[in-house]
Amino acid sequence: MSLDVEKQLLEERKVKALEKISRSLDSFVLWFEEIDKEEWNERIQYYLAEFLSRSPEISKDIEELPKKDA
């Protein structure tokens, strides 16, 4: 198989993968828009806190943000 054909196949696989990710993300966004946010408020806060605690780079960036005066 020539190098050009391999590159073309790889590009097609990339496009298909991105399309699949896009469809999944679109489905997730639609689900998120439809949920009762008042009922899910505490649960969403919990999952977001868990996500942030397991993501050291994100946690570090958030800790370095300037504090807002309330």
pLDDT at 39 (0 to 100):
78
pLDDT at 68 (0 to 100):
58
Q: Identity (one letter) of the amino acid at 3? A: L
- Residue pair 52/59 in contact (Cβ under 8 Å)? The answer is yes
| C-alpha span between 40 and 33 (Å, rounded) | 12
- pLDDT single digits (tens) 40-64: 788 888 988 888 888 766 655 555 6
Q: What is the pTM of this model?
A: 0.46
pLDDT of 9 > 90? The answer is yes
pLDDT at 22 (0 to 100):
93
In the 8-state DSSP scheme, what is residue 64?
T
Mean pLDDT on 10-31: 92
